[in-house]
Homo-oligomer: A and B are copies of this chain.
Amino acid sequence: MGDELIGRLIARLGEGSVRVGADIPAANCEDASHLTPVTPRALLLPRNTEEVSAALAICNEAGQPVVTQGGLTGLAAGAHPGEGEVALSLQRMRGIEEIDPVAGTLTALAGTPLAEVQAAAEEAGFLCGIDLGARGTATIGGNVATNAGGNQVVRYGMTRRNVLGLEAVQADGTVLTSLNKMMKNNTGYDWTQLFIGSEGTLGVVTRVVLGLHPKPVAVETALLAAPSADAALAILARLQSRFGGELLTFEAMWREFIDVAVKRIKLPAPFAESHEVVLLVELGTGDPERVTTVLGELMEEGLIVDAHLAQSGNDAARMWAYRESVYEYGQFQGNQINLDVSLPRGSIGAAVDALREVAAREWPAAVQVIFGHVADSNLHVVVGPLDGGGGFVTPEGKHTVDEGVYAVVRRFHGSISAEHGIGRLKRPYLGYSRTPAELALMHTLKKALDPKGILNPGRVLEPM
């Protein structure tokens, strides 16, 4: 029966679109979750929605599990192949199909990298509201599947808020088309909202319509030092009340994060002294004087204890280098653990203290840094052994770190995933953030939409 299924897929999609064995590139055998690579039973490379539909119909009939792949930048093992799964990659379905300047919308195939979407929007005089570090590789379809967050959520929201329409294929091959370009469309259940963030377990996204934003007139970038998490939150409140929708970015980096950036990544110290929190802030006012005035007020009140306002694009890039230093940790850490959690804003300071306590007690030999999109309640925690030394290489090591961090999240009524999703890695902890009734409802929805359980089985929910 195995060969028969592959035969049927080849008959429908063509030889070149169905790869098996050694013809499957290594890239399709893993995502960014650091799990052991697995060669899928076959790699499917459909060229259009009709082929996605045909492939799923064939797999569904055979009860063949399918893992959907975009840019493979996910950290939660959502797209990492499981044994015996067929991988369905959207990589050939790439391209901007339309920009409607009057509606302010962009329609793209799901396999289009985010950076391509951003560039097309910019060229048409607009801004794409989605931005994240993996922009060059992550695809817009993957962004939708995971409801990706990123650097501009305080201003433009999660991916969810930027999506106006979708085309998606259900497990049985049914094509759902709602390429809506209108901001308002209250016509029955909005299935697109259910699919966003469902991590490919309810259907395969094939096309995306995004609402675009006007470009900010100008961007002022500043690096601010705050004496505490509460001071950082007070700064946030003030900037929001004084600049409203002009606050574009509000990133926080705790003391240990800046220490690593300076001592290990060798960036210059941002301030003469070390501070509890360093904030990277972007405002789109086009009025640097007004920004200077408000920052001055905050300094007089002691909420900001030191500050730099970028005088040039180069200055701004140097400020962003701190935030992006986390992508350089490979230089000294082979196997770091990336966590992504949300906490109610008022608890962030206490949660950081609790995380430090856990780290000092449970993994004293490691580096633990904390940073994140604080305006969005989102903290990232990276834990890794120092200088490539031992620890955490085993599943047990990772388990200890997960348990330690998620226990803090649970204590403060946070979320075990702010923006990375559940995938396979966080599935055991989903009950920390969801009630039994919610989990039961998720299973009901999964069963209704994918009765044979072929789509990304074991991601988000236990396999059926």
Binding site for B on A (CB under 8 A): 100, 102-104, 125, 146-147, 149, 153-155, 157-158, 160-161, 170, 174-178, 180-191, 193-194, 196-198, 202, 213-217, 233, 237, 240-242, 244-246, 284, 342-346, 373, 375-378, 414-422, 426, 430, 433-435, 437-442, 444-449, 460-461
Chain B CB count within 10 A is highest, among A430, A437, A442, A446, for: A437
Quick check: B186 and A146 within 8 Å, CB to CB?
yes
Question: Which of A161, A187, A213, A215 has the largest count of B CB atoms less than 10 A from its CB?
Answer: A187
A444 touches B437 (CB 8 A): no
Q: A188-B442, A190-B197, A420-B186 are in contact. Are A180 and B104 (CB under 8 A)?
A: no
Partner of A180, one of B149, B158, B177, B415: B415
Chain copies in the assembly? 2
In angstroms, Cα B61 to Cα A291, docked, is 62
**Subset of 22 A-B contacts with CB under 8 Å:** A102-B237, A153-B183, A153-B184, A155-B245, A157-B183, A175-B437, A176-B441, A182-B342, A182-B343, A182-B344, A182-B345, A182-B378, A182-B415, A183-B376, A184-B419, A186-B421, A186-B422, A188-B434, A189-B460, A215-B241, A245-B245, A445-B448
A176 contacts which chain B residues (CB < 8 A)? 435, 437-438, 441
Cβ of B245 and Cβ of A187 under 8 Å apart?
no
Q: CB-CB < 8 A to A418: which residues of B?
A: 182, 184-186
A187 partner, pick from B182, B188, B241, B422, beta carbons under 8 A: B422
In the bound complex, residues from chain B placing their C-beta under 8 Å from that of A185 are: 342, 415, 417-418, 433
**A346 CA / B166 CA spacing, docked (Å):** 20
Contact status of A373 and B184, CB under 8 A, knowing A191-B441, A438-B178, A448-B447: yes
